[in-house]
Structure 1
């Protein structure tokens, strides 16, 4: 599910340049739809995905609790909603509630244009805020300029995602390598594989994985202040200082030590994933979006662990339930959101390989699923979600890909890469904030 990585804030500056409309009024405005007899609901999850299964059940519960109300559900393509959301929800043909991508360029942009309903009052009344950690709330709240992390609620997530280490238990056993629990043990384990002629980490320099590995390494020396400065523009970021300096240098060191193959500079995420699925790679550092596929396709013994030693991890809430400002059934939409946060639905997400935001881990029956959720809960409870490295500014995804390809193939030094990624970041922040 790499779609979450590339969206960033690529169009937010266009909205700011064009001028933004006042955000719509509170969720008690006209159009609450108290007497509505139809709920038009759109999402883009496949029927056999964890969310698709859970939301099908949520729709059935909604129907049972709202006799006489027709649910008109349509499964849309992600790209269809992503590219045309503003036009669609501003028309009479739009839905009353839909799944939409989080972030400045998406939910933030539409909120700043007055196209989404302010859910703040409803969130407090129904206690949705109490079910979501501060870092999960970040992607649900937007300022009047559409910048995430502050302001009113314009969406509600009910699942999450995060980056972890997947490992091949059979290869660890075959080569006599101990599963690490600390950073030092992690590097010792990789040294042991290299000594056996095995590259320990499959990587992909042509897409998001390399940038995420760099970010994980930087986060090893990060605090919440750095994350807020980098992601939310709280203060200027010095790319030649910690933690970004050590992130780039450690990445280069890992390539030099043989932890990452230089040939991976041209590989894509799919290449990395299939290398792990085929049993060729002892480990990959990547996200929970691989989990369901690995569970279905891998034939060997495998498991996962959090990036050793880190308090902060790349990750965020999943996509949001949003209510278009023009919804004719807002009250019904709020009822549906509430259902998706109930224990039954959260457990369904968890038992089908997803990462629920408010599940009781004891209700998850599969040990691997349970561990996936327990690790996410650990990160969430310590406010450890640090979002993604390409999110802050327009076009930054391509900047990071280019930078870390060159670090893998050795065409640039860590200092040169930091220079290359610092300039577009600074220019992007200035364009968004005017500072």
Structure 2
């Protein structure tokens, strides 16, 4: 199974942006400690993660097992959704108060540490890692269960690995589809952009609304970044992606690549065309309820932009729904339409945790093969433990066949808090079809903003 070494998934992008803007709120602290396994003691191990119903439910099962094995220890699990800035707010409060022992993170990857020559100072999670706020897990026994290179890329800095990446999903490019609806209208799973558009045209002609999008929370970006990734990686090996993205970031910084380059105009035009088939009220659809609504509407919305992390949520919402998951085909070359992989849930232990030993024991239990296999099955995650296979679920047939051909998600150009937001990405709530700004206008705004901020 190909392993992701890229920037975070689209659903994490807002949370990461918010965390990146967070000042370093915690001073350097000595490592905390706890008494052995905690047996017979009265202690509370505080764990925090963002809301994913299946992931939270399975984590709670691990918590219950941990409490049983550690009499006198209580696990306190705190959660918040990634939408509406809720997770960054909880993250900041826990870090500021130094009141968490095991903390979920979106992996920063090496891209979060631009060359010193750029003058960009990392913020949020990378700043905490740089200043010694998280424990180096490199030599923890449970880390032997994982691929060191993948863990180093996700959570590494200098010679240390400051977290353990336990989840990997397809988000950018992610698309669910209703198999029975495609069969009903004589359609097969599209493999190229032109085939996809033809299928959308057929569905529309039959009075079906082809596409469902959680536009309120920006999930239209799944299409944008999926198409962009596939066009940028055409003709390249999947293993080339990390180098391609690092060169892309350097080229933007040097001024030899720009948002007005033809590949981005092509991305924008394809994106706008695909979204012309979405439901009229997409701008009001929230991500939290979208999977359940899509699952319930069996006679409409054949396609749905969402990450693979919601596959089991859909299956639970409507157990009788016959659906699958695939990478939307954004390129004309079928071989280029590969799944875009992204590292996700990673656990860190702060150096100021009051219960570091308990935290390590909890991570050991969470990542034990049996518990981890159950967690993967519940969440639909791609396995990051080589000895634990990615589970085959009812909706993962396409993914099981094609994920090994996937490549890591594109890294965005280097920016800092001093850069205008538009410099690093386009605001797709303002861009057609959600807003009045044309793709060309949006790309020019971004190109001008980056050029000015980078001093070209």
User: What is the TM-score normalised by the length of structure 2?
Assistant: 0.71
Q: Following TM superposition, by how much is the alpha carbon of 1:325 offset from its aligned partner in structure 2, in angstroms?
A: 1.0
* Separation in 2, partners of 1:356, 1:338: 19
Q: Is the 8 A contact 1:8 1:392 kept in 2?
A: no
2:220 corresponds in structure 1 to 210
Alpha carbons of 1:260 and 1:391: their partners in 2 closer, same or farther (altered >3 Å)? farther
What's 2:46 paired with?
Answer: 41
Conserved 8 A contact 1:202-1:283: yes
1:152-231 mapped onto 2 (5 Å cutoff): 152-163=160-171, 164-223=174-233, 224=241, 225-229=243-247
Q: CA RMSD in A?
A: 4.2
C-alpha separation in 1, matches of 2:162 and 2:245: 22
2:376 counterpart (350, 355, 362): 350
Shift of 1:67: 5.6
Residues 55 and 345, structure 1, Cα contact 8 Å, conserved in 2: no
Give the direction of change, closer, same or farther, for the CA distance of 1:76–1:423 in structure 2 (3 Å limit). Answer: farther
Displacement of 1:141 in angstroms is 2.7
Of 138, 148, 171, the match for 1:120:
138
Contact 2:190 2:196 in 1 (8 A): yes
- Mapped to 1, the partners of 2:232 and 2:437 lie a distance apart of 24
Change (3 A) 1:195 1:405: farther
Q: Could you say which residue in structure 1 is the equivalent of 2:297?
A: 278
Aligned to 1:10, the other structure's residue is in SS state: helix
Matching residue of 1:75: 77
Q: Write the distance in 2 (CA, Å) between the matches of 1:296 and 1:341.
A: 25
The change in CA–CA distance for 1:62 and 1:302 in structure 2 (over 3 A counts) is same
Quickly say closer, same or farther: Cα 1:210–1:246, change in 2 above 3 A: same
Gaps of at least 5 residues in structure 1 are 143-149
Provide the aligned length of Structure 1 versus Structure 2. 403
Cα distance in structure 2, aligned partners of 1:371 and 1:392: 38
- Distance across 1 between alignment mates of 2:407 and 2:250: 15
Q: Give distance in 2, aligned partners of 1:168 and 1:337.
A: 37
CA deviation map 1:98-150 (0-9, x unaligned)? 33444465432432443222333438x8325516x64x6544234xxxxxxx7
Are 1:107 and 2:107 counterparts? Answer: no
Which residue of structure 1 lines up, in the alignment, with residue 5 of structure 2?
A: none
- Distance in 2 (CA, whole Å) between partners of 1:399 and 1:266 is 23
Contact 2:197 2:274 in 1 (8 A): no
Distance 1:85 1:174, change over 3 A: closer
Quote the offset at 1:303 in angstroms: 1.6
1:398–1:77 distance in 2 versus 1, CA, 3 Å: farther
Q: Distance in 2 between matches of 1:83 and 1:233?
A: 34
- Aligned counterparts of 1:401 and 1:314: Cα–Cα separation in 2: 20
Alpha-carbon distance in 2 for matches of 1:427, 1:34: 54
Using the TM superposition, give the Cα deviation of residue 365 of structure 1 relative to its aligned residue in structure 2, in angstroms: 6.3
Q: Say if 1:9 and 1:392, in contact at 8 Å, map to a contact too.
A: no
Question: Does residue 58 of the first structure (1) align with residue 79 of the second (2)?
Answer: no
Q: Residue 275 and residue 165 in structure 1: after superposition, are their counterparts in 2 closer, same or farther (change >3 A)?
A: same
| Kept after mapping to 2: 8 A contact 1:165/1:304 | yes
| Kept in 2: contact 1:202–1:260 (CA 8 A) | yes
In structure 2, which of residues 310, 314, 317 is the aligned counterpart of residue 297 of structure 1? 317
Distance 1:153 1:177 in 2: 47
**Between 327-336 and 394-403, the greater mean CA deviation after superposition:** 394-403
Q: Distance in 1 between matches of 2:250 and 2:17?
A: 12
Q: Aligned in 2, Cα 1:67/1:293: closer, same or farther, shift over 3 Å?
A: closer
Partner of 2:367: 341
Distance apart, 1:11 and its partner CA: 5.0
CA pair 61-283 structure 1, distance change in 2 beyond 3 A: same
1:210 deviates by 1.8
- For residues 254-273 of structure 1, the aligned pairs below 5 Å read 254-255=274-275, 258-260=276-278, 263=280, 266-270=283-287, 273=291
Q: Distance in 1 between matches of 2:340 and 2:269?
A: 19
1:421 pairs with 2:446? yes
Q: 1:75 to 1:63 in 2, by over 3 A?
A: closer
Q: CA deviation at 1:259?
A: 3.4
- Normalising by structure 1, what TM-score? 0.74
| Matches for 1:353-368 after TM superposition, within 5 Å | 353-358=379-384, 364=391, 366-368=393-395
Q: Is the 8 A contact 1:45 1:75 kept in 2?
A: no
CA 1:301–1:354: 2 relative to 1, 3 Å: closer
